[in-house]
Amino acid sequence: MLLGAPLLLLAFSSVRAATVVAPAAQATQHITLDIVNGPVSPDGFTRIGVLANGTFPGPPIVATKGQTLVVTVNNKLTDPTMRRSTTLDFDGVFFNSANVFDEGSPFVTNCPFGPGESYTYSKYFSDCLFSGDQTGSFWYHSQLSVQYADGLRGTLIIYDPEDPLQHLYDVDDASTVPDWHHNSSVAGLASYIQTQVIPVADTGLFNAKGRYNGGPDVEFAAVSVTKGKRYRFRLINMSIRANFLVSIDNPDAHNLTDIVIETDGVATVPNTVDVLTIFPGQRYSIVAPIRRPDSEHSIDAVIDSGNPAHNLNLNATLSRGILRYEGAPNAEPKTPMTSGPTGPGTVALDEANLVPLVAEAAPEPDFNLTFNTFMPVGITTWQINNSSYIPPTVPTLVRVLQGQTQQMDFNQSENTFVFPANKTVQVTIIDAADEGHPFHLHGMNFWVVKPNSTDVVNTRNPIRRDVAITGLNDLVVRFRTDKPGPWFFHCHIFYHFAVGLGSVIGAGLDEAAKTIHPTEAWERLCPNYDALPPDEQ
């Protein structure tokens, strides 16, 4: 169903499940990312982007369970029309509170760093993997404003040589479905603030390739598949705004059974579906067995990026990849582009049906918190409980280390909610406008005890993940405050986040002030950032 182009992830494209251990030779792997301005044209329209090592997506980061990764980021940005500072977030990868300062959340756990500066996310992964229990599909991106819309995003896969579901697949690969904008993120955000019309993407991409109305016939991303093989496709939505409806055209010709086996890095009881919707920040692994050697067919990744009348370049059905059988000619599918399967019998992914492979009951809450989300008429701000998140000038963690650990120490505009350590918090998110906000929690998973697709509360074996979608029905999640520190909890539609749809969970801040010991490099970040001229921030 979902496949990865070899050009995207050479490091582990077409890897046999029995040998999915790369790279295993080194206990520590050093990675360098040079953040540069350079030309990029995934849909044939060339623009200047913000790129890791000059590519879009950035180079894949690949690790094996228990391995230590040290990521050095060099800021070499020069284009004055875009943000020239930056900071990276590694979505879904957790770590203990001792190095929350490397978490990459600007104005919560750190300050961005400007052009000509470097920062090393050392011990980030070794600390998060000290217990050796986190594997799966993740990604990295700029967390500064909406900068990652300019291209600063890439995949991060942590393989498990003893994957308990490994018997279900033969080949392990990865796929991305990012939206793409021809205008820069700075221009897009300025337009949004002025008009209240959120930017609509020009193109939906499948593995960094796609087409737009009137644009060139860019070759669709393709991968060779072989009869009799079972393919694990890791689908990662790296969009700034769009969700994608993913399916395969003419599935009867393939006689496929598409099985969800991973949700945001959590191994999942196999769940058979025909089509799934994936929202920004979410990740799923799907297994698709290839049983018949038919001609080419497309993987349809229909993009939903808002009202297409706001951008006539967007054609939702031009988001597709090619499933090409071994030995077949280099040709496009003859079947028409569709919006995916519909009608009686079609099985769509329902979050309420996702069950973790290792069941874990959700603990009873010690605290209850309600988020009412809305945008006032005529003002481009999103609010939680009548307050838009405005980043403080001094990051939350800096102030925590200075002794500001109580609720009264934070302004209302910071949307910071302080709870004692080692408690359970239940958050009910009310989305009366049915905007479909993908809420993402940094630093930990939450239990989705009531997805918005149902009124049933499941505390016995709910799915654990770090991004869940709101809707007309309330979304209810629970998490533990057993990792002391401040953690972002925000909408992963970054245009929404940039105008206020964010909050900070202060978990055991008294404990955090005692146990967190930053490095000298971290302590230099804010003074250096504050000294930058405004056009370099």
The answer to whether the peptide bond before residue 270 is cis (omega within 30 degrees of 0) is no
* Confidence band of 296 (pLDDT split at 50, 70, 90): low
pLDDT of amino acid 392: 97
* Cα(127)–Cα(355) distance, integer angstroms: 27
pLDDT of amino acid 517: 87
pLDDT tens digits along 223-274: 788 888 888 999 999 999 999 999 877 555 444 457 899 999 999 999 999 8
Average pLDDT over residues 139-166: 95
pLDDT of amino acid 354: 97
* Cα(400)–Cα(416) distance, integer angstroms: 12
Average pLDDT over residues 496-508: 97
Percent of all residues in the chain with a pLDDT value above 90, rounded to a whole number: 70
* Cα(192)–Cα(99) distance, integer angstroms: 35
Tell me which DSSP letter residue 267 carries: E
Specify the higher pLDDT residue, 408 or 223. 408
* Confidence band of 340 (pLDDT split at 50, 70, 90): confident
* Cα(78)–Cα(84) distance, integer angstroms: 7
pLDDT of amino acid 18: 32
Sign of the four-CA dihedral 22, 267, 496, 524: negative
pLDDT of amino acid 80: 96
Average pLDDT over residues 64-85: 92
Average pLDDT over residues 363-368: 98
Question: Is a pLDDT exceeding 70 seen at residue 195?
Answer: yes
Specify the higher pLDDT residue, 388 or 230. 388
* Confidence band of 144 (pLDDT split at 50, 70, 90): very high
pLDDT of amino acid 274: 87
| Nearest C-alpha neighbor of 340 from the set 255, 220, 238, 251 | 251
* Confidence band of 65 (pLDDT split at 50, 70, 90): confident
Chain CA centroid to CA 34, Å: 21
Specify the higher pLDDT residue, 274 or 182. 182
pLDDT of amino acid 257: 53
| Nearest C-alpha neighbor of 338 from the set 300, 376, 308, 309 | 300
Q: 13-17, 54-58, 76-80, 238-242: which has the minimum mean pLDDT?
A: 13-17
Question: Is a pLDDT exceeding 70 seen at residue 6?
Answer: no
Question: Is a pLDDT exceeding 90 seen at residue 134?
Answer: no
* Cα(3)–Cα(172) distance, integer angstroms: 9
Average pLDDT over residues 302-328: 89
Cβ neighbours for 527, distance < 8 A, ≥ 6 positions apart:
none
Average pLDDT over residues 406-410: 97
SS3 of 318-348: HCEEEEEECCCCCCCCCCCCCCCCCCCCCCE
Task: Render 431-492 in DSSP notation, one character per residue.
Answer: -TT----EEEESSS-EEEEE-TT-S----SS--EESEEE--SSPEEEEEE--S-EEEEEEES
pLDDT tens digits along 80-125: 999 999 999 999 988 666 667 778 899 999 999 999 999 988 644 4
| Nearest C-alpha neighbor of 447 from the set 486, 480, 414 | 480
Cβ neighbours for 370, distance < 8 A, ≥ 6 positions apart:
385, 427, 428, 429, 430
pLDDT of amino acid 325: 81
pLDDT tens digits along 448-491: 999 999 999 999 999 999 999 999 999 999 999 999 999 999 99
pLDDT of amino acid 23: 43
Beta strands in 353-399 (DSSP E): 367-374, 383-384
| Nearest C-alpha neighbor of 266 from the set 134, 450, 442 | 134
Element (H, E) at 310: none
Question: Is a pLDDT exceeding 50 seen at residue 14?
Answer: no
How many CB atoms neighbour CB 394 within 10 A? 14
Task: Answer whether 315's CB lies under 8 Å from 388's CB.
Answer: no
Question: Is a pLDDT exceeding 60 seen at residue 431?
Answer: yes
* Cα(328)–Cα(122) distance, integer angstroms: 45
* Cα(43)–Cα(253) distance, integer angstroms: 29
Question: Is a pLDDT exceeding 70 seen at residue 350?
Answer: yes
Tell me which DSSP letter residue 238 carries: -
pLDDT of amino acid 44: 97
Specify the higher pLDDT residue, 166 or 258. 166
Cβ neighbours for 522, distance < 8 A, ≥ 6 positions apart:
101, 102, 110
| Nearest C-alpha neighbor of 495 from the set 356, 329, 381, 332 | 381
The answer to whether the peptide bond before residue 308 is cis (omega within 30 degrees of 0) is no
* Cα(104)–Cα(89) distance, integer angstroms: 5
Task: Answer whether 176's CB lies under 8 Å from 187's CB.
Answer: no
Tell me the residue type at 400. Answer: V
Burial of 116 (0-12, 13-18, 19+ CB in 10 A): middle
Averaged confidence pLDDT in the chain: 88
pLDDT of amino acid 229: 87
Question: Is a pLDDT exceeding 70 seen at residue 427?
Answer: yes
pLDDT of amino acid 357: 97
Task: Answer whether 455's CB lies under 8 Å from 475's CB.
Answer: no
Average pLDDT over residues 134-158: 95
